[in-house]
Amino acid sequence: MKVVAGIAVLICLFIEAEEGSAYLLESECGTKKQSDMGPKIKGGKDADPFSNPWMVRLIVESPICGGSLITCSFVLTAAHCVFNNTMRVRLGEYDTMNPENSYEIEADLKVVHQGYNYDPTTYKYDIGLLRLKSAVQFSDYVRPICLAVHEPIRPIIPFMIAGWGQSESGQSSNILQTAYVHLISQSICSHHYTRHVGRSQLCAYDQTSDACAGDSGGPLSAELQYRYRNQTFQLGIVSYGSQYCSSATVYTNVLHYMDWILGVLKEYGQRPAVQEIRYCTNGTKIDPNR
């Protein structure tokens, strides 16, 4: 996560529940233990050790990627972070040099959106899910982030990004870094890149910080009051950005893909373990050898 300079255009969101139709994947999602250290988030600072218990680090040859725990068995990440070779998920991670509370679980099923084609010139449909070989126990260090199902979205606050990616020094961070960013319009964002940024994507920027190499797959989140208590919701997935981490970053719009996510969870939540990538749209299995 890198500190940058520039001008931010502020666009924000909040979630308002509608009785009867809206629900959360996990009722105890998005909560965290309070710490005396206080928040350290502006400009890519060290995170509070308890502030992001849903953050995971993907253990794979390359690239370095992050992800977020969304249920006791599934991790949400970017499609370009998913590979055929063995992948493990490290949970409870904070300081990679001091893994006191972290542990690894192998991913026994990897699902990427059928529309993603691994073409480096476009990152549409950049969303994937990893199923864990064994379900996790929630704790102060391991807890899912909230995903809002059938929730209306309206403008309000800035978002937070988190990851172990490159800092301004050009090196990956040992300690989890966090920072605030603000949404900008897709049309403005499209001017930064040769590819079109559409409704299935979000674009965020801040004058002091940006996601960088190694932050891919991590969550774009916001802490919101949901039915009288504060919980953290994921609204985006780090997809791609500028080479020098000094411009707007594009995120996969999680709300746009909620039906796809729910379909995958329904289709594969109780299936036997297999070691392969499957492609599906709304839970329908597609030939992985397409």
What are 170's two structure tokens?
A: 């050009």
| pLDDT, mean of each 10-residue run, the chain (290 residues) | 44 45 79 54 65 91 84 94 91 88 94 83 87 93 90 67 71 81 80 80 74 81 82 90 74 93 88 51 37
pLDDT at 89: 95
pLDDT for the residue numbered 158? 78
Instruction: Check residue 37 and give its pLDDT.
Output: 38
pLDDT reported for residue 36? 39
**Beta-bridge partners for 182:** 205
pLDDT the model gives residue 71: 94
pTM: 0.83
Terminal CA-CA length for the chain:
36
| DSSP single-letter state for residue 146 | B
What pLDDT is recorded for position 218? 92
Specify whether the CB–CB gap between 195 and 174 falls below 8 A: no
Q: How confident is the model at residue 53, as a pLDDT?
A: 94
Contact 176, 163 (CB under 8 A): yes
- Please state, in angstroms and rounded to a whole number, the distance separating the CA atoms of residues 236 and 217: 9
Write out the catalytic residue numbers. 80, 126, 216
